Amino acid sequence: MAGYADTVVVPGAVRWVESSGGPLIALPEAVLSFWAGADGDETSSDYDRACDVDGYVGLLPVGDTRALVLGHEPASTAYLPEHGTFVRWYAADSEAELLADVPAALASAVWEPEAEWRVPGPVVLFDAAWPGRAFTDTDHIRVELAPGRYGVRAAHVSTGPETWLGLVRVSPLTG
């Protein structure tokens, strides 16, 4: 898969982010400069904190907000705004097959408990190993989220014998 910097953005095309082996994070743009990635103290870097997340998702303090960590496996991940969902490609014969299965996966998902995520605005999804100031040097996706509170739920779904995907739904909370 080509890196973000090597590709031309095609309207309507799904863009995928990969990691070098660790978790991905969705970090509010407002605090990108606070994320040190794997840099810093050898025993407690931001990347180490992200790796310590147990499960499909977790929230970590960064500056005056929190980052959403997509844990469990370093799967290629896309954001589908029409579903308000990060889709993680665990196994499928093709992108078309995986994307065609998303509606059925959303309908049949057994969701983990919901977490509340407050964001000050758009977030950037990228490899947690990278410092926030250098995210443009790697695959990344900018996700347009309005400032506010969101419910985050994750699920792991098999839609066929050779198709597995992870779902991380990000839904606005009211009230």
Convert the pLDDT of each residue in 84-105 to its tens digit: 999 999 999 999 999 999 999 9
State pTM to two decimals.
0.89
102: three-class secondary structure by DSSP: helix
Q: Domain limits of the chain?
A: 4-172
C-alpha count within 13 angstroms, C-beta hemisphere, residue 171: 10
| pLDDT above 70 as % of the chain | 89
C-beta separation of 100 from 93 below 8 A:
no
Nearest-angstrom CA–CA distance, 129 and 47: 5
| pLDDT tier, 22 (very low <50, low <70, confident <90, very high otherwise) | confident
